Amino acid sequence: MDTSERVVLPLLDFPQNGRVLDVGCGNGGISFLLAELRPDLHISGVDFEANPVADAAAFAERHGLSRLHFEQGDAHQLRFADGTFDGAVCQTVLTHVRDAPTVVREMARVLKVGGVFSRPNIPRAARSPAMTMCIWRNGMKPGSVSITASASCSAGASWRWGAAMIRWGRVPLLATQAGMDVYDVRLNDRVMHVFPPYRHEKQRNYLELSKRYHAPAPDDRWFNLTLETILAGGGTEADARWYYAATDSAGILQAIEAGVLSATGSFALYLTFARKPLSPST
């Protein structure tokens, strides 16, 4: 809430009673956060999947949030007319879509001139102990096992740099290519913290996410992702093998199963802020 209220909202500077689009809204996390901070906004959430849209709509209704509206739709082909919204946001979506440049162009299209675009994304920190990520397991063995690494190790530095180059760092470029004027890029300071008995919903969500990330993959997809990222960051295949092996996925799954996983670490959340200029050439 702090980062959103003190940093993100002032940068977005939505007009009073403005219209905001949340692309790939899922079950409405960002929409509800925005609505809490700025109850005057009219927010439309669009997602490909029916279930999260239904959940978000039901939550809005239960809480009397009549300025929020959720619907199914494809981010590659938004049904809204050009220049409809004062703002467009999307969080952790562009890595999931078929064609990110098209989605960014669509977001730019439906913005009014002067409208702002923001797209934060969370790197796959759950799989990356080298991103100032620290996971420790309690009660598995005598003492606790700790996996602590920092971006100062060379494989970690390559991973982080590669990730910025080929994934999250692409967003300012995509926004520029869509005719937007990027006026700020930020890295947030949120620290994820997960401890038994996992009282908070976010902690339980993190465990579910971790289960997915650490589940044995039927192919080399996770290793290939690591390799691609580390090579793009200037590392070697040996770095990628070391880095991949440093993540004890089986141990993490076992700890989740036993209800003893504790984890904390920083999710580097890149936020790109861009504005639709008065004329595309300015």
Residues that bind ligand SAM in the complex, under the rule CB under 6 A: 24-26, 29-30, 46-49, 52, 74-76, 91-93, 96-97
In the bound state with ligand SAM, the residue whose beta carbon lies nearer, of 134 and 192, is: 192
DSSP characters over 29-41: HHHHHHHHH-TT-
Q: Are 189 and 6 in contact (CB under 8 A)?
A: no
Tell me how far, at minimum, the Cβ of 90 lies from ligand SAM, in Å: 6
Tell me how far, at minimum, the Cβ of 109 lies from ligand SAM, in Å: 15
Position 183, amino acid? Y
Tell me how far, at minimum, the Cβ of 33 lies from ligand SAM, in Å: 9
Tell me how far, at minimum, the Cβ of 98 lies from ligand SAM, in Å: 7
Residue the block writes with tokens 């880095």: 243
Tell me how far, at minimum, the Cβ of 46 lies from ligand SAM, in Å: 6
Pick from 170, 152, 204, 51: nearest CA to 101: 170
Residues in the chain: 282
Q: Which two tokens stand for residue 196?
A: 């038994």
In the bound state with ligand SAM, the residue whose beta carbon lies nearer, of 18 and 45, is: 45
In the bound state with ligand SAM, the residue whose beta carbon lies nearer, of 48 and 223, is: 48
In the bound state with ligand SAM, the residue whose beta carbon lies nearer, of 75 and 255, is: 75
Q: Are 129 and 210 in contact (CB under 8 A)?
A: no
Can you tell me the distance from the alpha carbon of 245 to that of 119, in angstroms, rounded to the nearest whole number?
31
The residue of the chain with the least Cβ separation from ligand SAM equals 26
Contacts of 281 (CB under 8 A, 6+ apart): none
Tell me how far, at minimum, the Cβ of 74 lies from ligand SAM, in Å: 5
In the bound state with ligand SAM, the residue whose beta carbon lies nearer, of 32 and 161, is: 32
In the bound state with ligand SAM, the residue whose beta carbon lies nearer, of 75 and 180, is: 75
Q: Which two tokens stand for residue 46?
A: 């669009």
